Amino acid sequence: MAKNIVRGYYEESYPPLPTKATKFWRQNIAKQIIRFFVLNLRIMRIIVGGHS
């Protein structure tokens, strides 16, 4: 009779860990504020363009 061997997950199953640079840019408040306004400007262009 064959035994079922239970193994843990392979290394490839786990997501990659972010680097220090990636963490820095994700947490950078100045970059987040700039991206917030850029996104809002894009949305406003779409809205204004649709109402003319």
Query: Residues 1-16: pLDDT tens digits?
Result: 567 776 777 777 788 8
pLDDT of residue 2: 62
Average the pLDDT over 9-38 and give the result: 90
Q: What is the distance between the alpha carbons of residues 6 and 31, in angstroms, rounded to a whole number?
A: 46
For the chain, give every domain's residue range. Answer: 25-52
The residue behind tokens 């997950």 is 9
How would DSSP label each residue in 2-50?
PPPPP----GGGSPPPPPHHHHHHHH-HHHHHHHHHHHHHHHHHHHHHH
Higher pLDDT, 22 or 49: 22
Structure tokens given for 20? 């220090």
Residue 34 pLDDT class (50, 70, 90 cuts): very high
Element (H, E) at 2: none
Q: What is the pTM of this model?
A: 0.57
